[in-house]
């Protein structure tokens, strides 16, 4: 247990100031998203008598045009976005990496089929893929998850395949083969140490992209079906009231920007000085 | 969803495994093979892209077929409603449709028929308006091209000069401004940016129209929305590429020949930077098209994205298929142009795996 | 015209990298500075030119034709570039713009280029013609061989009329033939009353240039004199050490002249037997119908210019690449890792992101050599343990190549294929590394297949030397199509000592 704590500390020390700030920001947001349901148990409960109520101590972000608690809806929407994003990126990385290494390693027909498929997919904007999948059965969460994961695995597949093919045909792996070191050695010492930093960077991009995709779909009206709270949908709903009730639109927009800034900050390599 | 370049950056920054001497040897070995057919590279590029166009069309079409199969309710009724209008659908007309389209046949036969329609360029009729889809798509295609073209031109016109100037002084003021700009445009989703622009320029100042299509001023806000993010990326890439080329041996040699800074920039730096930049435009084609879909919905711009989102909302599958295919082919088209431009700019054969 | 350097000091931070009191470059006589990498010789060239990297500061004076320039002030000399002084680049293939035709790259250096472009193009074509590469005027640089690119670069550098030519490692990456052509070009420049300062680690080039030779070591010039005197009868200990490191002068028990080759009987056991193997790239043959046998303990070298397919032949013999025709048979003993390979750049032969020891432990776990074997080998090669805890990128080339030798020896190989193992190393390091390898090869009676572009090295190490030949030069030739062993049954063995 204490060893785990130590290793977390060691990792934190390696981070730059910007990265630590970004991590803190994202943690804060995660706490807000997770703790939300205890404070605001029902994010869809309407109270039309309190519509467009301005922020107060008991309702820190005010209420919307249907008298729903904006803070409660925001916590719920944030949780939804982050959960979908993490689930999609995890799925996409695992699938993309396995397929990529398989294609690079086996070559031949496996590679031809997978590579051909990815060539077709790569001409499709990711948003288009998500839109099409969500068209199959609109508004359901699984289509959103499936669509985003389907759109994202291609990237991991292509990068992992290209990088692995380069490494596998390179002199280091050739030497390992002559030394009769098996596939586990190649995976653990050659491929994984090389792919890990690449995938980590891509994953932070991917989570941002996924959060953005969910909210974009909500914004154009083909995402998560109302009344389930969702960031993009909240912004659309709030826009007509931007003058009377700015808290309604500013709050979800801010959360979206904070997620993206946080993920962006994680990638900055500025030194901690 | 603006981060496909992550993948490409990841690949391009990888140090080559071949060392310099080996690479020289490798390219020299390679030449023999390439020189035999001088016209070959361009044919190969065109063939590859054509193959991609066919496969992506098939992919989209099959996806649309699956959508149709999975739609709730009786398909025959829906199609009959599309043909004859919702109020005139009867069990008899649905049966007629069923017999006509062979909807009782096995799924694979239906899929084959679906593909055959595609080959005949028969995209069917819109389930909403009843008009032939191909005919309905003319306006969206031209509007989308108009918007995407304007945005791309704007982004290049701003981004490239900024990048070139920023590269003159790494870490200078302009360089830092570019960095902040790129970070800012990454952190601000396109639809939020569009909303902000509408608030400021149409609602607050009343300078520009927020929605609509027709007059020249209509295109300004949507195009700017798209161009803000893109131009930052172009500026960044141009800056990095130019700065990197400036440190190359051939620039140092050109200078030592007695060429002035301007001549070196014009004759050597920009041409080589163009090779990288052209490839990057190809990568950004996806981002651009994605942005078009979002921005069109926001500004009610009657393009393909707008049509697609509406069609998805109404489950108008023939229009979904046609619009999606058109968008994908647009991406392929941009990439084809980029590939051909790359071949023109850089005479070197593409590096492939070569025995050294 | 002449050039005179006084009190040149180049520093980085507080460290002095170059300290040369006085250097006179008369016209009509070549001046060559030799030394190993890190001696500061290239910095001296760049200080004179005014192209030092940012962060390096130069002090001192250079007098060109009676006009003095302060070395600390760079911009004043910029207007001399191309007109009065020019720099012949390292690796001309990289110094030419890959996207521009050769003619334009030469013409833009001509004085007339800004006013009269046509006459500049004409001048460029004429100069290229004089240098024997007139046919290449409309080619792109990537279609040129190393030697042709060198001549194009020479044309581009001198078309502006510069009489002072500074050549910084001009023979880097060139094969023997191209190096001879280069020496001729430079000598022509000198005999035409030019001033020439050549910086090189290539003693052969220095010998060919003649004139004055200066030996540089650790920022200072340790010896100077005529080429003949310095390069045949040096007085300074360092120069003597440098000369002794040339493969042709090696005195080691394993040098092949003193060793005994194994008997070449037709029925003796073999390690590798190649029967009429052919390999091409695209539609072009790299080599065809090569038949050869490698026997236990034999040392065979494949020598030849770059692009002649010698590395490919080695890889085919190791069955790392399939031949297009013919077959390669390995003795059964070679299985299980008794066949090892050394690479030109050892840094790419180790997993790049993990400390070296991690990969070595995998080797130890897999093959279980006697305990202490690794430590013994490390000691024999004078390598310290802590080296192994770094990733390969942080170990010097010579040391890393020795680690690679150790890694190979852990498996008690019967045959080692060494692919240009020392071509990126300085002379002294090359000798150290070859010593490390050959002592192990000698002790274990293991066979060696050496690929090298350096015939002297091949002759020093191998019992048999196989040379890859180049076809007659074609004006715009597409690299050298090697005609290795074109005779059908026996390989052309050119050197048997």
Mean pLDDT (whole number) for A259-266: 83
Confidence of residue B2 (pLDDT cuts 50, 70, 90): very low
Please name every residue paired with C19 in a beta bridge, in sequence order, or none if there are none. C9
| pLDDT tops 90 at residue A174 | yes
Residue A96: the pLDDT is 94
In the structure, what pLDDT confidence band is assigned to residue B73 with cuts at 50, 70 and 90? low
Task: With CA atoms as reference, report the closest residue to C187 among C198, C178, C177.
Answer: C198
Segment 79-138 of chain A within 8 Å of chain B by CB: 116, 119-128, 131-138
CB contact under 8 A, A175 and C358: no
List pLDDT tens digits, range C86-99: 999 888 888 999 99
Tokens encoding A214: 């969910």
Are the Cβ atoms of A128 and B289 closer than 8 angstroms?
Answer: yes
B152-190, pLDDT tens digit by residue?
Answer: 999 999 999 999 999 888 888 888 888 888 888 878 888
Chain B residue with Cα closest to A169: B353
Q: Check CB contact under 8 Å for A193 and C353.
A: yes
Q: Is-contact C245 C65, C-beta < 8 A?
A: no
Mean per-residue pLDDT over chain C, rounded: 86
Q: How many CB pairs under 8 A join A and B?
A: 158
Residues C178-186, mean pLDDT to the nearest whole number:
89
Give the pLDDT score at B107: 75
Is the pLDDT score of B30 beyond 50? no
Q: Is C480 on the interface with A (CB under 8 A)?
A: no
Nearest to A214 by CA among A133, A95, A118, A93: A133
Residue B287, C-beta contacts closer than 8 angstroms, at least 6 positions apart? A125, B1, B2, B4, B5, B229, B230
Q: Which residues of B touch A222 (CB under 8 A)?
A: 309, 312-313
Q: Which residue has the tokens 């709730």?
A: B72
Residue B271 to residue C157, Cβ atoms within 8 A: no
Number of C-alpha atoms within 13 angstroms, CB side, residue B120? 8
Kind of pairing between the strands at C3-12 and C56-64: antiparallel
What's the rounded mean pLDDT across residues B283-299?
87
Q: Do A176 and C351 touch (CB under 8 A)?
A: yes
Contact C145/B at CB under 8 A: yes
Among chain C residues, CA nearest to B344:
C99
pLDDT number for residue B203: 77
pLDDT classification of A38: cutoffs 50, 70, 90? confident
Per-residue tokens: A69: 């608690």
Chain A residues with CB-CB distance to B187 below 8 A: 257, 260-261, 264
- Burial code of A154-191, b = ≥16 C-beta within 10 A, e = fewer? bbbbbbbbbbbbbbbebbbbbbbbbbbbeeebbeebbb
Could you tell me the residue ranges of all domains in chain C?
3-244, 272-489
Q: What is the pLDDT of residue C25?
A: 92
> Residue C472 has what pLDDT?
35
Chain B contact for C157, CB < 8 A?
Answer: yes
Q: Contacts of residue A163 in chain B, CB cutoff 8 Å?
A: 10-11, 14
Which of A135, A159, A206 is closest, CB to CB, to B315? A135
Write down the architecture of domain C272-489 according to CATH: 3-Layer(aba) Sandwich (3.40)
DSSP secondary structure letter of residue B204: I
CB contact under 8 A, C478 and B32: yes
Q: Count Cα neighbours of A32 within 13 Å in the Cβ-side half-sphere.
A: 21
pLDDT at residue A95 tops 80: yes
CA A42/CA C315 separation, integer angstroms: 70
What's the average model confidence in pLDDT over C213-227? 92
pLDDT grade for A259, boundaries at 50, 70 and 90: confident
Average pLDDT over residues C291-308: 86
Contact A202 B199 (CB under 8 A): no
pLDDT above 90 coverage of chain C, percent: 52
Q: Is C350 within 8 Å of A172 when comparing Cβ atoms?
A: yes
Identify which of C51, C93, C143 has the shortest CB distance to residue B31: C143
Identify all chain C residues contacting A190, using CB atoms and an 8 Å cutoff: 351
Closest to B249 in 3D by CA, of B276, B271, B262, B268 = B268
Does the structure show a pLDDT above 80 at C107?
Answer: yes
Tell me what the mean pLDDT of segment A246-268 comes to.
Answer: 82
Q: Does the beta-carbon distance from C311 to B257 stay under 8 Å?
A: no
Give the separation between CA B189 and CA B209, rounded to whole angstroms. 21
Contact between C436 and C418 (Cβ < 8 Å): no
Residues C450/C345, Cβ–Cβ less than 8 Å: no
Considering only CB atoms, which chain B residues are within 8 Å of C478? Answer: 28, 31-32, 35
- Asked whether residue C75 carries a pLDDT value surpassing 80, the answer given is yes
Confidence band (pLDDT; 50, 70, 90) for B352?
very low
- Over the stretch B242-281, which tens digit does the pLDDT of each residue have? 999 998 999 999 999 989 888 999 999 998 999 889 888 8
Mean pLDDT of C73-81: 87
Q: What is the mean pLDDT of chain A?
A: 83
Cβ–Cβ gap C479/B253 under 8 Å: no
The pLDDT score that the predictor gives to residue C486 is 30
DSSP 3-state of C194: coil
Q: How close is the nearest chain A Cα to the Cα of B188, in Å?
A: 6
**What pLDDT is recorded for position C450?**
95
Question: Testing the interface with B: which of A123, A129, A240 to mutate, by most B Cβ within 10 A?
Answer: A123
Among chain B residues, CA nearest to A201: B6
Nearest to B271 among C94, C99, C312 (CB): C99
Task: Write down the pLDDT at residue C496.
Answer: 35
Pairing between β-strand C464-467 and β-strand C493-496 as defined by DSSP bridges: antiparallel
Provide the pLDDT for residue C263: 54
Q: How confident is the model at residue B82 (pLDDT cuts 50, 70, 90)?
A: low
The Cα A200–Cα A216 span in angstroms is 24
Average pLDDT score over residue span C238-265? 78
Mean pLDDT of chain B: 77
Nearest to C362 among A171, A181, A193 (CB): A181
Q: State mean pLDDT over B207-230.
A: 80
A252 close to A231: Cβ distance less than 8 angstroms: yes
Banded model confidence at residue C476, pLDDT cuts 50, 70, 90 = very low
Give B173→chain C minimum CA distance, Å. 20
Q: How many CB atoms lie within 10 A of CB B64?
A: 23
* B38/A5 Cα distance (integer angstroms): 62
Tokens of residue B33, six digits: 């093979």
pLDDT at B87: 66
Test B294 with A216 for CB contact under 8 angstroms.
Answer: yes
Looking up tokens 């250096």 gives: C109
Predicted pLDDT at C282 = 67
User: Which residue, among B223, B338, B211, has the nearest Cα to B291 in the 3D structure?
Assistant: B223
pLDDT at C483: 35
Binning pLDDT at 50, 70 and 90, where does residue C265 land? low
Distance from CA of C353 to the nearest CA of A (A): 6
Q: Dig out the tokens for A154 from the structure.
A: 């291609």
CB-CB neighbors (< 8 A) of C368 in chain A: none
Bridge-based pairing of strands C212-217 and C30-34 is: parallel
Report residue C309: phi and psi, to 5°. 90, 15
Contact A264 B335 (CB under 8 A): no
Burial C439-478 (b: 16+ CB within 10 A, else e): bbbbeeebbbbbbbbbbbbbbbbbbbbbbbbbeeeeeebb
Does pLDDT of A6 surpass 70? no
Taking CA–CA distances from C306, the nearest residue in chain B reads B25
Q: What stretches of chain B show up as alpha helix (H) in DSSP? A: 5-12, 20-35, 40-70, 75-84, 91-101, 107-119, 133-136, 138-168, 173-187, 190-197, 220-246, 249-256, 261-264, 270-299, 304-313, 317-345
Architecture per CATH, domain C3-244, reads as: 3-Layer(aba) Sandwich (3.40)
User: Tell me, what's the pLDDT at B10?
Assistant: 31
Nearest Cα to B236, choosing from B282, B273, B193?
Answer: B273
- pLDDT score for C374: 93
Measured torsion, CA atoms of residues A237, A242, A245, A250, in degrees rounded to the nearest 10: 80
Between C339, C349, C358, which is nearest A171 by CB?
Answer: C349
Instruction: Measure the CA–CA gap between C81 and C74, rounded to whole angstroms.
Output: 12
Say if the Cβ atoms of B259 and C109 lie within 8 Å: yes
Locate the DSSP E strands across chain A.
Answer: none
Which residues in chain A touch residue C339, judged by CB atoms under 8 angstroms apart? 178
Least confident of A55-69, B243-257, B333-347, C249-263: C249-263
- Residue among A127, A198, A257 minimizing CB distance to B293: A127
Instruction: Give percent above pLDDT 70 in chain A.
Output: 93
Cross-chain residue pair A180–C367, CB shorter than 8 Å: yes
Q: Which of C52, C70, C53, C50 is nearest to C7 (CA)?
A: C70
Indicate whether C447 pLDDT > 90: yes
* CB B235 within 8 Å of CB B182: yes
B308 band by pLDDT with thresholds 50, 70 and 90: confident
Q: Which residues of C touch A193 (CB under 8 A)?
A: 351, 353-354
Tokens 């995998």 -> residue = C362
Average pLDDT over residues C71-87: 89
Q: Which one of A163, A170, A180 makes the best mutation probe of the C interface by having the most chain C beta carbons within 10 Å? A: A180
pLDDT tens sequence across C307-331: 778 888 999 999 999 999 999 999 9
Does the interface ipTM go beyond 0.85?
A: no
Q: How far is CA B333 from CA B102, B142, B144, B145, in A?
A: 35, 14, 14, 12
Please report the domains of chain A, with CATH numbers, ordered by start residue. Answer: 15-31+64-272 (1.10.3720.10)
Q: Which of A229-243, B85-99, C66-80, C277-291 is the most confident on average?
A: C66-80
Q: Is the pLDDT of residue C479 over 50?
A: no
What pLDDT score does B91 carry? 74
Which tokens in the block code for residue B203? 């609602």
* Helix pair B270-299, A126-136: axis angle to 10 deg: 30
**Confidence bin at A19 (pLDDT 50/70/90):** confident
Contact state of C343 with A175 under an 8 Å Cβ cutoff: yes
Instruction: Tell whether the model's pLDDT for residue A133 goes beyond 50.
Output: yes
In the three-class reduction of DSSP (H, G, I as helix; E, B as strand; rest coil), residue C281 is classed as strand
Residues in contact with C143: Cβ distance below 8 Å, sequence separation at least 6, in sequence order:
B31, B35, C136, C476, C478
Contacts with B324 from chain A: Cβ below 8 Å? 124, 128, 131-132
Q: Is the pLDDT of residue A23 over 60?
A: yes
Confidence at B199, pLDDT banded by 50, 70, 90: confident
Mean pLDDT, residues C17-45: 90
Confidence of residue B86 (pLDDT cuts 50, 70, 90): low
Tell me the per-residue pLDDT of A193-251, one tens digit each, with 9 for 90 and over.
999 988 988 888 889 889 988 888 888 777 777 778 888 888 888 888 877 777 778 88
Measure in Å the smallest separation between the Cα of C163 and chain B Cα atoms. Answer: 13
First to last CA, chain C: 49
For strand C220-226 and strand C212-217, is the pairing parallel, antiparallel, or unpaired?
antiparallel
Q: Please tell me the predicted confidence (pLDDT) of residue C337.
A: 87
- The answer to whether domain C3-244 and domain C272-489 are alike in fold is yes
Cα of A223 vs its chain's centroid, Å = 16
Asked if C357 has any chain A CB less than 8 Å from its own CB, the reply is no
Using CA atoms, how far apart are residues B72 and A21, in angstroms rounded to an integer? 48
CB contact under 8 A, A124 and B59: yes
pTM for this entry: 0.81
CA distance B349 to chain C (A): 9
* A189:C363 CB<8 A: no
Which of A176, A178, A181 would best serve as a mutation to test chain C binding (most C beta carbons within 10 A)?
A: A178
Q: Which chains touch A (3 or more CB pairs under 8 A)?
A: B, C
Which residue would you say has higher pLDDT here, B189 or C259? B189
Pick among B16, B19, B21 to test the C interface (most C CBs inside 10 A): B21
Cross-chain Cβ contact C283/B349 below 8 Å: no
């Amino acid at each position: 247990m204490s060893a785990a704590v130590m290793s977390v500390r060691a990792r934190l020390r390696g981070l730059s100031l910007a990265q630590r700030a970004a991590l803190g920001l994202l943690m804060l947001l995660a706490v807000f998203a997770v703790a939300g349901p205890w404070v605001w148990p029902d994010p869809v409960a309407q109270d039309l008598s309190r519509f467009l109520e301005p922020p107060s101590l008991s309702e820190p972000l005010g209420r919307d045009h249907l008298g729903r608690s904006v803070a409660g809806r925001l916590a719920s929407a944030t949780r939804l976005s982050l959960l979908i994003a993490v689930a999609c990126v995890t799925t996409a990385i695992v699938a993309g990496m396995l397929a990529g290494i398989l294609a690079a390693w086996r070559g031949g027909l496996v590679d031809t089929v997978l590579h051909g498929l990815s060539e077709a997919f790569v001409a499709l904007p990711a948003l288009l893929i998500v839109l099409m999948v969500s068209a199959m059965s609109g508004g359901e969460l699984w289509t959103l998850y499936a669509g985003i994961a389907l759109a994202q695995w291609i990237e991991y597949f292509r990068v992992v395949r290209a990088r692995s093919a380069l490494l596998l045909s390179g002199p280091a792996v050739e030497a390992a083969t002559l030394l009769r070191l098996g596939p586990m050695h190649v995976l653990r010492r050659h491929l994984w140490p090389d792919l890990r930093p690449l995938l980590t960077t891509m994953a932070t991009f991917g989570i941002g992209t996924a959060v953005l995709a969910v909210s974009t779909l909500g914004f154009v009206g083909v995402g998560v079906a109302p009344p389930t709270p969702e960031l993009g949908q909240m912004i659309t709903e709030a826009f007509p009231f931007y003058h009377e009730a700015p808290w309604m639109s500013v709050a979800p927009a801010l959360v979206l920007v904070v997620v993206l800034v946080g993920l962006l900050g994680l990638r900055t390599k500025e030194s901690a000085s | 969803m603006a981060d496909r370049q992550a993948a490409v950056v990841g690949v391009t920054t990888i140090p080559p495994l071949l060392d310099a001497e080996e690479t020289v040897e490798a390219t020299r070995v390679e030449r023999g093979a390439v020189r035999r057919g001088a016209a070959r590279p361009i044919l190969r590029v065109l063939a590859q892209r054509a193959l991609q166009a066919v496969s992506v069309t098939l992919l989209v079409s099959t996806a649309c077929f699956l959508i149709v199969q999975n739609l709730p309710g009786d398909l025959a009724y829906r199609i009959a409603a599309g043909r004859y209008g919702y109020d005139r659908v009867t069990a008899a007309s649905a049966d007629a449709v069923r017999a006509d389209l062979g909807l009782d046949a096995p799924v694979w036969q239906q899929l084959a028929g679906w593909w055959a329609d595609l080959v005949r360029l028969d995209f069917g009729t819109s389930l909403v308006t009843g008009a032939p889809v191909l005919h309905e798509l003319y306006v969206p295609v031209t509007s989308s091209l108009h918007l995407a073209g304007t945005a791309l031109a704007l982004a290049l016109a701003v981004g490239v000069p900024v990048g070139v100037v920023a590269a003159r002084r790494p870490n200078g003021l302009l360089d830092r401004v570019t960095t902040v700009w790129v970070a800012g445009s990454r952190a601000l989703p396109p639809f939020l940016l569009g909303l902000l622009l509408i608030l400021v320029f149409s609602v607050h100042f009343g300078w520009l129209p927020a929605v609509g299509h027709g007059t020249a001023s209509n295109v300004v806000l949507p195009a700017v929305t798209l161009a803000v993010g893109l131009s930052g990326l172009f500026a960044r890439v141009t800056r990095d590429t130019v700065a990197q080329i400036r440190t190359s041996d051939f620039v140092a040699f050109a200078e030592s020949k007695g060429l002035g800074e301007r001549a070196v920039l014009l004759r050597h730096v920009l041409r080589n930077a163009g090779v990288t930049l052209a490839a990057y435009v190809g990568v950004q084609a996806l981002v651009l098209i994605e942005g078009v879909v979002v921005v069109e919905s926001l500004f009610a711009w009657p393009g393909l994205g707008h049509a697609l989102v509406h069609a998805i909302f109404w489950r108008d599958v023939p229009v979904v298929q046609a619009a999606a295919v058109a968008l994908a082919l647009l991406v392929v088209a941009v990439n084809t142009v980029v590939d051909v431009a790359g071949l023109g700019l850089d005479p070197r054969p593409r590096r492939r795996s070569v025995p050294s | 015209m002449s050039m005179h350097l006084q009190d040149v000091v180049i520093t980085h931070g507080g460290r002095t990298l170059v300290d040369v009191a006085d250097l006179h470059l008369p016209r009509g006589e070549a001046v060559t500075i030799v030394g190993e990498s890190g001696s500061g010789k290239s910095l001296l060239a760049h200080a004179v030119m005014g192209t030092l990297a940012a962060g390096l500061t130069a002090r001192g004076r250079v007098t060109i034709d009676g006009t003095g320039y302060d070395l600390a002030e760079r911009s004043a000399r910029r207007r001399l570039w191309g007109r009065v002084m020019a720099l012949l680049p390292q690796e001309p293939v990289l110094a030419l713009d890959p996207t521009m035709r050769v003619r334009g790259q030469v013409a833009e250096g001509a004085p007339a280029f800004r006013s009269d472009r046509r006459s500049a193009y004409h001048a460029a074509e004429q100069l290229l013609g004089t240098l024997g590469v007139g046919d290449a005027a409309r080619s792109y640089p990537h279609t040129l061989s190393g030697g042709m690119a060198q001549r194009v670069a020479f044309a581009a550098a001198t078309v502006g009329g510069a009489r002072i030519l500074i050549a910084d490692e001009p023979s880097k990456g060139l094969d023997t033939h191209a190096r001879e052509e280069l020496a001729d070009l430079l000598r022509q420049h000198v005999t035409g009353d030019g001033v020439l300062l050549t910086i090189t680690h290539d003693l052969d080039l220095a010998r060919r240039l003649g004139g004055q030779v200066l030996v540089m070591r650790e920022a200072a010039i340790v010896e100077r004199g005529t080429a003949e005197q310095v390069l045949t009868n040096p007085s300074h200990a360092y120069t003597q050490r440098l000369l002794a490191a040339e493969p042709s002068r090696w005195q080691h028990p394993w040098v092949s002249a003193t060793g005994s080759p194994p008997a070449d009987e037709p029925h003796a056991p073999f390690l590798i037997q190649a029967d009429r193997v052919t390999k091409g790239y695209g539609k072009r043959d790299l080599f065809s119908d090569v038949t050869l046998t490698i026997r236990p303990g034999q040392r065979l070298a494949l020598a030849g210019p770059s692009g002649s397919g010698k590395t490919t032949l080695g890889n085919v013999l190791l069955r790392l690449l399939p031949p297009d025709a013919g077959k390669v048979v390995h003795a059964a003993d070679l299985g299980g890792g008794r066949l090892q390979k050394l690479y030109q750049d050892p840094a790419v032969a180790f997993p790049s992101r993990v400390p070296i020891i991690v990969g070595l432990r995998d080797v130890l776990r897999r093959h279980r050599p006697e305990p202490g074997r690794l430590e013994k080998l490390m000691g024999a090669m004078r390598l310290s343990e802590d080296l192994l805890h770094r990733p390969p990128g942080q170990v010097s080339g010579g040391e890393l190549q020795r680690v690679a030798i150790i890694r190979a020896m852990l498996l008690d190989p019967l045959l080692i294929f060494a692919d240009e193992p020392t071509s990126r190393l300085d002379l002294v390091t090359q000798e150290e590394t070859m010593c490390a390898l050959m002592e192990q090869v000698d002790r274990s009676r293991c066979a060696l297949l050496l690929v090298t572009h350096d015939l002297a090295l091949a002759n020093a190490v191998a019992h048999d030397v196989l040379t890859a030949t180049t076809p007659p030069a074609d004006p715009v030739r597409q690299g050298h199509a090697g005609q290795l062993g074109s005779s059908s049954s026996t390989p052309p063995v050119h050197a048997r000592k």
